[in-house]
Amino acid sequence: TYQTMKTFIITALLCHLALSTPLTSSNILPRDIPAAKPVWQPPLGARFQIVLSRGLARTRRDVQAGNATILDLDLFDTPKAQIQQLQAQGKRVICYFSAGSSESWRSDYKQIKPTDMGEALRDWPAEKWLDIRSPDIFTLMQSRIKIAAEKGCDAIDPDNVDAFGDESRKGGGFATPLKQSDSVAFIRKLSAEAHQHGIAIGLKNADAILNQVSDVVEFAVNEQCATDSSGCSMYEKFVNRGKPVFHIEYAKYTSPDGKNVSISSEEGNSGRQKVSTVIKQMNLDNFVLWCDG
């Protein structure tokens, strides 16, 4: 019939138009999805400060940035307003959280299944190694990275990703011990998630896997490489690629005036590697000495 033929022709024309229209992001994606901001690449030689002491963590109003241009602060305990205030002063903020250990005082601690927790860390009995192979653990870390994005963190410092080399040599105390390859896979997943939010990521310690993840991290954070027999030489190639190392040495003795600090006979090694070194106390409070004067 005429009506049937008319319907057929209109349908055919519509199909032709649909097939001839290229599928682009402008006509298949919602228009309200914001593009991720560019991922920040910290510069070499920047002066940094790290303050994680829980005694200072309630408001962060007393964090002393000093001449530091980069601050490493606790993700949970640092208010968004404090991060914004520091950024308004030209600072950059790295947000710390433990990605590889449970911390019994954290607000999301109860979301961790007992089966995803291994042995306690030797020096930190309130923390247990996490099974970083678990999808549930990665989901939890995705939530933390989202918090970092909502607070406006420039980068994240995920700690305790090196259970493969724990002191007991039990790979975190799991029936199937954690291996280096597990940490490599975990860091790569964390990096992809952070970069989706426009957030940089660093490798905390775990220098045994540095070469395997150096392409997906923007910086490294190291504790006490100057006390190793080889110094901080493992970071030489990393630094030569233009990626900074934020290096922390812990003072064995501090006089009331902040002088007479002795850390290691290998102290000079960090300077030769052009890493950014701070001398801190173990509680990571406001105290800081910079090795560049």
Is the pLDDT at 166 greater than 60? The verdict is yes
| Rounded CA separation 139/190 (Å) | 10
Domain boundaries along the sequence of the chain: 2-290
- Which two structure tokens, joined as six digits, stand for 186? 């975990």
Give whichever of 17-31, 54-68, 173-187, 225-239 has the largest mean pLDDT: 173-187
**Residue among 159, 183, 177 nearest 119 (CA):** 177
pLDDT of residue 15: 42
The answer to whether 77 and 106 are in contact (CB under 8 A) is no
pLDDT of residue 26: 44
Is the pLDDT at 278 greater than 50? The verdict is yes
pTM (predicted TM-score): 0.81
The answer to whether 66 and 49 are in contact (CB under 8 A) is yes
Convert the pLDDT of each residue in 35-55 to its tens digit. Answer: 668 999 999 999 999 999 754
Over residues 193-221, the mean pLDDT reads: 97
The answer to whether 54 and 75 are in contact (CB under 8 A) is no
pLDDT of residue 265: 39
Query: Going along 54-150, which residue ranges are E strands?
Result: 70-74, 92-98, 101-103, 117-121, 124-130
Over residues 128-157, the mean pLDDT reads: 98
Tell me which of 3-7, 83-87, 146-150 is least confident: 3-7
Q: Domain 2-290 class?
A: alpha beta
> Rg (Cα) of the chain, in Å, rounded?
24
Is the pLDDT at 117 greater than 50? The verdict is yes
The answer to whether 89 and 65 are in contact (CB under 8 A) is yes
Convert the pLDDT of each residue in 221-262 to its tens digit. Answer: 999 888 776 778 899 999 999 999 999 988 765 445 555 555
Q: How confident is the model at residue 100 (pLDDT cuts 50, 70, 90)?
A: very high
281 vs 150, higher pLDDT: 150
| Rounded CA separation 290/246 (Å) | 11
Query: By percentage, how much of the chain surpasses pLDDT 70?
Result: 74
